Each structure stands twice: as structure tokens, then as C-alpha cells.
Chain A
Amino acid sequence: MDYIFYLAIFKVLMLCDILFTPGYGENLDIPLKHPDTSSDLSTWSPNEHGAHPDPDKSRLPIFSVNYPRIQIPFEITLWVLLASFAKIGFHVYHKITVWVPESCLLISIGLIVGGIMHSVHEEPPAVLTSNVFFLYMLPSIVFDSGYFMPTRPFFENFGTVLWFAVVGTLWNSIGIGISLYAICQIEVFGVQDINLQENLLYASIISAVEPVAVLTVFEDISIHEQLYIVVFGECLFNDAVTVVLYNLFNHVAELRVVEAGDVFLGIASFFVVGLGGLLFGLLFGFVASFTTRFTGKVKEIEPLIIFLYSYLSYLIAELFAISSIMAIVTCALTMKYYVEENVSQRSCTTIRHVIKMVGSVSETLIFFFLGVVTITTEHEWNWAYILFSILFALLWRGLGILVLTQIINPFRTIPFNYKDQFGLAYGGLRGAVSFALAFTLPDSIGPKKLFITGTIVIIIFTVFIQGITIRPLLKLMNVRKTNRNLETINVEIHKRVGFTVDIIYVSILNYGLILTFFSNAGLKIIIIILNYNNCLVFQLMEHTVAGIEDLCGQWSHYYWKDKFMKFNNQIIRKILIRDNRPESSIVALYKKLELQNAMEILDSMSGDISSPPSPISSHASKSKKILASDVKNMHELLSKNMYKSRQRTMSHTNKHSLPNDVTAKEILIRRHTSLRRSLRAESFHGPKTSQKFFSLPTGQSLNSRLTPGRFASAGDDDAESEMDYASIRSTFRHPQRSMIPLRRPGNLKKVHSSVNVVDEENEKQRIYRSSRSGSSFTGSAHQITHQPHSFSGNISNKGHGSDSKEQKSFSPPNALKHEPQNNSDVQYPLLRRPQ
């Protein structure tokens, strides 16, 4: 099945190739192929292209082709499409990407396309100019990385990240540059004409490391968090450093004569550029957050605000020639937290999707062009220079990591051991940024061609050889992992749902874990196991450590985190967040679990509908295999309503896919699923408590307890929230929806008390509850027929509901307390009759 689809994709790909390659050929006779097509286009006289379809100009043309008019956007579209097809192709047959990094495949495809173009004497597209790269592609790539940076681990390792990014890149650039300069002095190699400045420029280009391939590997082998985040952060910030250095050396290389004063000015400008970027980023981040405070009524432009501000920060930083990468990354990091609380779920999803989409398309295109350009440009090949640059690139990277780690280790709570250092050093692949920088070198640089060739060789060498071997090597070396290994997870899953899985992705949170795997039914399933205790104890631990640090006068990131959180809660949030209520992560988790309770209601319903009960929702059917039909049913049911709000951001976000894969079927396993039965036993808490609510006391909505209107909106599609931040988006505008999943906690207790009450209002609730408790899983026909109805009623209601009115009906908790029955429609929208 996969194979056929893959073939089909391949055919489409070829078709696409054929479609546009002749497109070039057809126009070969007209001067379209001029490298600077974009600038030439406007100057073209209409005669030239009008003549093409129909030489007879006196009559009104019935059919005309005006290719030049659309050429630029048309070609761009086709390129993007081709790159996207390639990407789809790799992921259809996912086993390829496990062994060969995606960037390798993209380069290979690029090489093939380049080969085809070369054979028909086709020029490479003139799209990748310096401006296109720096104004459009680079910002989208780095914004993507910045926005999806896992914040908590990043700040925990902030010092190390900066150390490696700034000092490491300087070390590499200067080291490689000087050693290459030394090589240039040897006459045998015939490269004496390259002076020191140019060598340094080249060195700064090839010292930018690229995270994509490595991070995917790191994720797959579930490497420990510190290593992951250091590589991620290093790659991100060293882009900034590299670009600064590049501009600096570019300037210096053109000077020809460098005085000592220039060096100091260079160093000074380095700081101005870096810190200036940081400031602009912060400024725009806060302004963007502040703006989203007021976008509540115009949600359709919410995502736009985010993009505009971040792009503006980039452009303005460019304007003042300060580090624009730094600006946009800081902007993304700053606003992410606040913006995501302010905007609606939908906007939040849109923002994430668009960022991811644009970012990955840019990156794909760059790798793709790398392949094409490799074939189609003239190369200047100098064995000695290129081989030595590979050698030095590897050598200085290795040395740099070794030395810099020795320096940073005493400051780290958990030092890097030699295996980690190997991972760091070997993970230094070169990629998109290096290539683009090399390609956009000004022509005034003498050995430009040699530099491009050298850069391409280094990229291909590192991406192919290191990229492919890093996985087996790291596995062989048994680098530290997160303390969950696959076997124990599999045992756990087996215990819970009764099937073993081939886990392909594991992500560990502080208080739970997320697994992605392919079940034997072939469905991609994400399991989230959340754990209250982990969360609670983790918090207790954090507070304790912060307290002890205060006590003995030490302070580290816990201390700063503590201080920042205080400042954040007291000042920043009040300014930036619309309905500001500081919230601890345990409360957020609690609310999420409340949501999931409701999800399980749906799970069990689908179990009723399809005859073999779904094992996920029920303890009783533990041993049954999950059937594809079950999952599908469930998915359909859920996707109509609040299903997707269960998705979580993984703490390790994959660079190439959105944190939560929307296509993934997702099944939730919660520790408490099985609890309800034990809870039913009134004696659970012994004589101490007569009321034992699994969650909230009867008749009190979660709204009344917790901050109103701040649950994750269950009704919104693709609701996403991030565990790290515990930020639950405000859904004040959709109280109806947000109530849906909130199972009134008291109903657990009520199961017993109301079993015998044959009340019109309660009947369905009762049935539902008994089905929850697992005793009557078969369910009655009554139930089966009614629940879908209530579903649809519910859905249709969503559309028309007057938000403000509904909101009022929710907000006074007292009303609910006194008249729970009257409000049961509201409380149990799932169980409501069709209206």
C-alpha cells in the first residue's frame, strides 16, 4: 500500500519535473534565461512576449499565453511544490528517513533535478539571491526554531548554549581561518592568492552548524535533554554569530588592508550587533504580546500580528545592521508565552502551523537548491584547499568542544562526559545557512567559486557521512539517555492496553510521557501518560531546591527562575495578558486532566458503538487487541468535537514536523482510568472523608473553582497547549465549548446514590455512568441512539450560541450549586437532548 502510494508520488514528481522543465525549453529562444530575470522582466516590451503565441498581432487573440508575466511566481510555486512532493515522498515510506536524514534525501533529489537541468543546459533558478535568502528564507527558518524552542530546558542550559554558540563559533571561525591561511602559504597547493581576511570569511561560513538532521536522530534515540537542548540552542544562536561574523569579515575582506583599530572596532561592533538584536527582539516581543491583548474581537488577524511583529523586528534589525537573527529569535521566545495565552486556540494553531510550514519549506528549498546548484554551477576545485578545510572543520570542532566543555563543566550541575562531547562534536553538521551564505558571497571576493565548492563539499560530507553514521555511532556508544527506556515503556503499555508497540518516538516530560508509535493496526497513535505525582513532587522539589539555595546563599537557575516567575507574575503578566491569573503548572495539569476525563467519556461511547470495546477506555477489555475500526470510530466521533485538544506539544519538538502531528490518531491512557472503579468504593478514603471527589465536588463547575474561562478550549479544533508552560489558553469566548469536557466530578459519587432514581433528567447520565464504570459495557440501544443525537445537538448549538449569554449562565458558581439539575443541560452537554 505504502509502496504503491510512494510510486504514485514519484510519478507525480516526475510529471512535475516534466511539466516545468520543458517550460524552460520552450522559452529557450527568448531571453528568459537571463540570470537576473527578476530585474529584466519589467523592462520587457509587450511585443516580445505577445509575439510568442500568435504572430498575427492585428487581431484580438482568442488564445494567448503570456508566460513571462507569470514566470517568477510560477517557477517559485513549482519549485516549492516539487520540494514538498519530495518531502511527502520521504514520509510516505517513513523507514527511509529513519536511516537517512531528510536533508540527505533532499540534496539527492536536488542533485538529480540538477542533473536533468544540466543535461538540457538549463540555468539554475535565479531565486536564491542574497536578498531572497536574507529577507525571506532565513527569517522563516530561524523564527521557526526560535518559536518552537523548548523553553524550560533552554533556560536551564542557557549559559552552556551561549558559551558554545558564541565562543564555539568564534573559536571555529578563527581556528579554521588561521589554519587555512597557513595552508595557503604552502606554494605546492597553489592557493597563495587567498589572504587572511578571505580565509576567515570562508571559515565563518563553514562554522555554522545545522540542527535539523542531528536533532531528528537525537529525538529518535531519546538522548538526554541537556545534550539535545545544547545542540538545538547552539545551532540557533550560532546562526546569529555566524551571520554577524560573516558580515564583519565580508566587510573586512573588501578592505584589503586591516589595521589594529579595525579589529577592535570589529569586536565592539560584535557586541553592539548581538546585544542590539537582543534588545530589539525583546521590545518587539513585548509589543506583540501587548497588542494581542486587544485582538480578542478580531481573531482573524491574530496570527498576522505575530508574523508582522516578528518580521518587523527582523527587518528593523536589518535596517540598523544589527543581528536580525538574534532579534527575531528573541522576539519569538519572548512573545510565545504571552501571545499563546492571549490568542484563541484557533489562532494559536494557525500561528504554529504557519510558522512550521514556512520554516520547513524554506529549509527544504535550500537543501534542494543545494543539490541543484552543486550540479549546475561551475566549480573551482582545489584538492588541497578543500580537503584541508574538511579536515580543519572537523578538527577544530572536536577540539573546540573538548576545550570549551572542560571550561564550562565546573559550572554545570551535570557535567558533560566524553560521550556527550563526542555527540556534540560529531553532531556538528553544516547545512542550509552555510550554503546560503556561501552562495550569496559578493563577486568582489576573488576565490568565490572555490569557497562555494568548498562549502558544498563540506555540507555534503557532513550531512551524508556524519548524518548517516551518527545514529549507529551514538547507539553503539550508548550515550546517556533519558531515564525511560523503550522496554519499560513497552511493558507499561502492554500492561495498560494489551498490545506491544513499535515505538518510534518518545518524549519525556517532567510529569508524564508522550509516546508516538505505530500500532499493529498500522495507525499512528500517541499515548500520553500523565502523572499527578510526578508533577507535584517535581514542583515540591523545585521549591525545595530554590529554598535551600536561598538558605545557603547559592543561586543558580532555580533561583533565577524563582525570581523571574515572581517578576513575571507580578508585573509582566499584568501588562501583557488579557485576563491575567498566575497559574501553577499543577493546576494547569489538573485542568487538562479534567478535560481528558471528558475525552474518556467519548472513548467509552465509541466502545459502545463498535462492538468490540475499545481497550483504551476500559480496564475490562484490557486484553483485547485494538482494532483499526475502533480507533477510526473514536476518532471520527472525537474529531467532531473536542478531540484534538488532547494533543500536546512534545518537549522535544521535531524540527520538521509540527509538535503535534494532527494526522496522528491519539489515544490517551491515564492512570486514573482504572481508578474510577476503586473510587466507587466509598471506603477508599476511609472514614476521614465522607466526600470523595475524583475531581470536584458535586454541583460546582470547574469554572467556579478555577480561574474562569481559562481552560483549554475543548471545542476548538487542534487545540494545542504546551506542557512546559502549562499555559492554558483563554477560551472565555466559548464557555459552552469549554464546558463540554468537564465532567462534573461528583457524578462518580452519584453513581451509587442515584442508581435507583428513575428520573427523566438523570436517566441518561446514569446509563452513561454505569457504562463508565465498566459494569455494563454493552450499553443499551437507548444509549446508542441518543448519544450521537446529543452530539449533533451540541455541535449545532455551538454555532449559534450567544457567547455572552452563555458566559453569564456559567459564571455565577452559586447558581450552579443551588440548582444543579436545572443546569445539567449546561453541565452535561453531551447528555443533553437534541434541541
Chain B
Amino acid sequence: MGASQSGQPHEFQHLSDKTGFSIEQIKNLHNRFEYLTQDEGTLRREHLENIENLALNPIRKKIIEAFFDKRNLGQEGEGYLDEIGFEEFLTILAFFTPSKQRTGEDDKQKTRKEKLRFLFNMHDTDNDGFITLDEYRHVVEKLLSSNETIEIETAKAIADAAMLEVASVTVGRMGPDEFYEGVTFEHFMQILKGLEIETTMNINFWNLDSTAFQCGKSK
């Protein structure tokens, strides 16, 4: 459906209202979308996996999965889609828009929550609402995988320590036979309350057309 939308300003207007992007940004991103999908109209995993610049990103898989995650797309149910259209593509990118300048505290909290939810979903791969130790370890291993000198044991130890930290901050003292099953989103928010995510997890989407240059670069 992406291709059919091109040259339909009212469609873009609709998307702009929905995602907060400006028309120019949407046009740019649409160009990019068409470039990525090679004009097929829908985006599949292999399209993203072919991006050269992304190849060295240690959490490439997680990023790609995030695009097909129903939770991020605001769709019903759980699990992952096989392909997404332009609207979904924008929905994902909208997570990275900076919050508007003059928004109240409530809006700021909302933006923050959304951004953190996105990150949480990247951790919680099996959709059960908990980041289990295994899931956390997996993320840490991926994060450190670009670093040849780090062994898996170290990654594990770091994940363990991080887990413990969450447990201690959120639950407090635990009885000897208690079992901390995983980080819930509430705990996730609580532990990260010192992190200025709303001002850092932003991409300055360009208003100008950069696609031509970028295409040349990617080839």
C-alpha cells in the first residue's frame, strides 16, 4: 500500500496527524521506505537486513524485530507480523520523535513512558510482560557482542548484577525462598527514573530530502 500512497497529500496529512511527523518528513521517509522496499509496497525483514550500515549494529536483530512487533504498532494481540506497510513504519519511527517544545509535565511523562515501553519491548521478547533473566542476558550479550574481548560469562555476570539491582530497588529485601520472576514495566520505569530518556532517545528527522545522497552512500 505504500507505493499507492505516493502523490496523495491527504494521505500524508492523515499520517501526519496520526504520527506527529510533518508532511516534508513523511515525504522523505516515504522515499526512504520505497527505497528500502524496492517499491514492493511492504517492508519485510530481509529488506532491513540488507541495510549495509546496520550490519555492524550489535543489536541489529532486536531493532528489526521491533518494527514487526505488534505491541509497538498498537495492534491487537501479540507476536510479530511478517510485513508492514508505510503507516506501520512511521508508527515505529514516531517513537523517536522529540517531544514538542511546550508540552506539559503530563505529556512529557507520556512520551517518556512510550519511549521506555519501546525499549522494554525490545527486552521482553516472549511477550509475557516480564524481562526474565534469560532475556536480559540475551540483550546484554548482544550489546557486548561487538567487543571481541568480552566473554559470555562477563555478559552474564553483568546481566545478573543488573537484575539484582532491579530486584533490590523495586522489591526491597527478599525472603530467602522468594523468587524474582522478572522485571515488569513498572519496575523498569522505576529503575530508570534517573535516565533522561525523553531528551536523548530522539532522532532529528530531516525536513530536507536526503534520500538521493543516502542512496548513493548505501550502494
Contacts and interface: CB of A to CB of B under 8 A. Distances in A.
Check if A and B associate: yes
Nearest to B183: A533
Contact of B178 (A554, A683, A692): A683
Interface stretch (B11-19, B75-83, B193-201): B193-201
Contacts of A538: 195, 200
B195 A417 contact: no
A786 interface: no
B168 A671 contact: yes
A705 B157 CA distance: 11
Given A543-B57, A672-B164, A681-B176, A536 B143 contact: yes
Q: What secondary structure prevails in chain B residues at the interface with A?
A: helix
Contacts of B169: 671
Contacts of A512: 194
Interface stretch (A110-118, A132-140, A693-701): A693-701
Given A540-B143, A584-B147, A413 B119 contact: no
Interface in B178-218: 178-181, 191-192, 194-197, 199-207, 210-211, 214, 218
Interface string A569-605: 0000000000001111011001001000000000000
Interface stretch (A5-13, A545-553, A654-662): A545-553
A582 B194 contact: no
B200 A541 contact: yes
B165 A531 contact: yes
A534 B195 contact: yes
A46 interface: no
Contacts of A411: 204
B174 A550 contact: no
B176 to A, nearest CB: 4
B54 A550 contact: yes
Given A547-B59, A672-B168, A706 B150 contact: yes
A151 to B, nearest CB: 16
B134 A415 contact: no
A507 to B, nearest CB: 12
Interface residues of A, number: 77
Contacts of B181: 686
A615 B96 CA distance: 43
Interface string B148-188: 01110110011011111111110011111111110000000
A616 to B, nearest CB: 16
B168 A551 contact: no
A706 B140 contact: no
A545 B153 contact: no
A705 B151 contact: yes
Given A417-B101, A681-B176, A745 B210 contact: no
A694 B164 CA distance: 8
A674 B171 CA distance: 11
B150 to A, nearest CB: 6
Contacts of B48: 551
Most buried by B among A413, A552, A583, A677: A552
A678 B165 contact: no
Contact of A532 (B133, B162, B172, B173): B162
B153 A536 contact: no
A84 interface: no
Given A543-B57, A694-B160, A696-B153, A414 B179 contact: no
Contact of B162 (A510, A536, A541, A548): A536
Contacts of B160: 685, 692-694
Given A534-B194, A581-B149, A540 B59 contact: yes
Contacts of B102: 417
Nearest to A414: B199
A537 B192 contact: yes
Contacts of A692: 160
Contact of B165 (A483, A532, A582): A532
Contacts of A508: 194, 196
Interface string A795-813: 0000000000000000000
A303 B89 CA distance: 53
A678 B149 contact: no
Nearest to B163: A685
B186 to A, nearest CB: 14
Given A548-B63, A705-B153, A543 B147 contact: no
A224 B201 CA distance: 16
A554 B35 CA distance: 14
A685 B192 CA distance: 22
A520 interface: no
A621 to B, nearest CB: 14
Nearest to B67: A551
A414 B147 contact: no
Contacts of B146: 584
Nearest to B33: A552
A782 interface: no
A716 B161 CA distance: 26
Contacts of B210: 553-554
Contacts of A590: 154, 157-158, 161
A283 interface: no
B204 A533 contact: no
Nearest to B197: A541
Contacts of B35: 553
B191 A531 contact: yes
A390 B33 CA distance: 55
A87 interface: no
Contact of A696 (B93, B157, B173, B207): B157
A689 to B, nearest CB: 7
A543 B57 CA distance: 7
B133 A688 contact: yes
A301 interface: no
Given A413-B202, A681-B175, 14 more contacts: A224-B199, A413-B204, A483-B194, A510-B196, A534-B195, A540-B122, A544-B63, A552-B32, A553-B210, A587-B144, A678-B174, A685-B163, A705-B151, A706-B154
29 contacts: A532-B158, A532-B161, A533-B192, A536-B140, A537-B192, A541-B201, A548-B203, A553-B32, A554-B205, A554-B206, A556-B204, A581-B149, A584-B144, A586-B140, A587-B147, A619-B173, A671-B168, A675-B164, A675-B165, A681-B175, A681-B177, A681-B178, A683-B176, A684-B180, A685-B133, A688-B134, A705-B154, A706-B149, A706-B150
Instruction: List the 10 closest pairs (A to B, CB-CB), nearest first.
Output: A553-B214, A550-B53, A681-B176, A532-B162, A547-B63, A678-B174, A675-B168, A675-B164, A413-B202, A547-B57
